[in-house]
Amino acid sequence: MMSNIVNDIGTEELAHFEIIGAMVYQLMRGASPEEIKMADAGTYFADHDRAVYPSTGTGVPFTAAYIQSKGDPIADLHEDLAAEQKARATYENLIKLADDPDVIDPLRFLREREIVHFQRFGEVLQKVREYMESKKYF
């Protein structure tokens, strides 16, 4: 059961990349190079045109180095919990910057999913703690 929850969250997180990428693509699709420059996205355009390229708002590309793991389930789950809160905060900041309902609505959906993921990871953490503290009979 716990591995199913973690697998489902991981799969959904990859879908978040797809949703954000589609939103960026749609926002840039009809923009002229001049409009892209005025939107402060000229360096992104220079490197990637209008292609979807996962990166931070400052242009740092996504890398597996962002994925923290120690092999200790308690430490790793706390890292997952923190990542969900960071993602939630990022979506809240993006919502504050946006003025288009067609952008705000999917961002709200993604923010809500991060809250649900946080709750699910908390449930898994509790079950892992219970298992680790239980007496083992072999």
Domain definitions of the chain by residue range: 2-131
For residue 72, what pLDDT is reported?
Answer: 94
For residue 137, what pLDDT is reported?
Answer: 82
* In CATH, 2-131 is 1.20.1260.10: yes
For residue 67, what pLDDT is reported?
Answer: 82
User: Cβ distance 117 to 84 under 8 Å?
Assistant: yes
* C-alpha pair distances (Å), 81 with each of 51, 53, 88, 111, 125: 31, 25, 11, 14, 9
Rounded to two decimals, the pTM is 0.86
**Mean of the pLDDT values across residues 28-46?**
91
Given a cut of 90, whether residue 50 has pLDDT beyond it is: no
Closest CA to 27 of 16, 14, 36: 36
**Mean of the pLDDT values across residues 3-24?**
91
